[in-house]
Structure 1
Amino acid sequence: MSQTQLQLISSVSSSHVNHTSLKGATPANARLQYVHMAPSLARLTILLFGLSSFAAGLYSLLRPLQSLDSLGLPRSALPAANGNALAAVAMGVYYNLAAFQDNRAFYLATVPMRLTTTVVFWRQDWKGVACWEGGCAVATLLALFWDARQEKRKTM
């Protein structure tokens, strides 16, 4: 993220704007300028994964028996499945917050955990979920490399 973007994010979250460091930004247009910046590819992968996690968790909470059936779990697994659904909703919130903040350190930190989750889900015979988890982790990692390359080109 460029220094100007960092300053702009900081100024949008505070009550004042440093006019000299933002190249013409005023309190009235600082937020507008930030909204119009193109999101990074990595940010989009995190946003997509966060939204899907939130939606899957919410679906599991609203339709717990269908969720159990889709995962091939017995009815006795309902308490654990509900806990897992709550964790998915929370994870969706955290991922979307990280996307809003463009927290690239968080993006990178998710990759090893999501790949580990892929292995665990695969061994549990949840192949579809494992492929989604692993595919999104790899997409995030590739997007981070792509974004870094694009930023490097801009500074040359």
Structure 2
Amino acid sequence: MRILPRSLAGWTIAVFGVMAVLFGVIGLISPQTVATGAGFGTLSDDGRVFATASSMASLNMGVYYLVATATEWRPFFRFTVPFRLLTFTVFTTLVLTDVAPGEFLSVALWEAAGAIATGAGLYVDARRKDPA
């Protein structure tokens, strides 16, 4: 199994995977740091539990992305594009309907940028003679 990505799309998946792992670890160590970065105030006990659980999910998801990168699992790469766009849509809607603070829009934009980057990477890779 190779460590470095073998395709442009693989690089986009790897970047997201590393960042998800890092945010997950930071959130497990300090849930309040993640909550503050997302524009939320001081966490209640319930909020701390939720932020910690979300951070664990981020860590797990990051590992999934890194395994997909290492194995060049292209169906997974393709699968992420519409679902990251769905995440963008849901998170943007939460901000626009005042359910989440405006800072949360950065999470939505990160998801959209990742989806577009991976989609573009898949497109470019498909036009190369040997994409993987």
**Alignment TM-score, normalising by the size of structure 2:** 0.82
Please give the residue correspondences for 1:54-69 in structure 2 after superposition, counting only pairs within 5 Å: 54-69=21-36
In the TM superposition, what is the alpha-carbon distance from 1:35 to its structure 2 partner?
7.2
SS of the residue 1:124 aligns to: helix
d(CA) in 2 for partners of 1:94, 1:88: 10
Change (3 A) 1:52 1:35: closer
Stretches of 4+ aligned residues off by more than 3 angstroms? none
d(CA) in 1 for partners of 2:49, 2:91: 19
- Residue 118 of structure 1 corresponds to 88
1:148 aligns with 2:126: yes
- Residue 22 of structure 1 corresponds to none
Number of residue pairs the alignment of both structures matches: 120
d(CA) in 1 for partners of 2:15, 2:107: 15
d(CA) in 1 for partners of 2:127, 2:78: 15
- The structure number with the bigger radius of gyration is 1
- Residue 72 of structure 2 corresponds to 102
Where does structure 1 lack aligned partners over 5 or more consecutive residues? 1-8, 10-33
d(CA) in 1 for partners of 2:82, 2:9: 15
- Tell me how large the CA RMSD over aligned residues is: 2.1
One-letter amino acid of the structure 2 residue matched with residue 113 of structure 1: F
**Alignment TM-score, normalising by the size of structure 1:** 0.70
- Residue 50 of structure 2 corresponds to 80
d(CA) in 2 for partners of 1:64, 1:106: 29
- Residue 15 of structure 1 corresponds to none
Where does structure 2 lack aligned partners over 5 or more consecutive residues? 96-103
Identity of aligned residues (%): 34
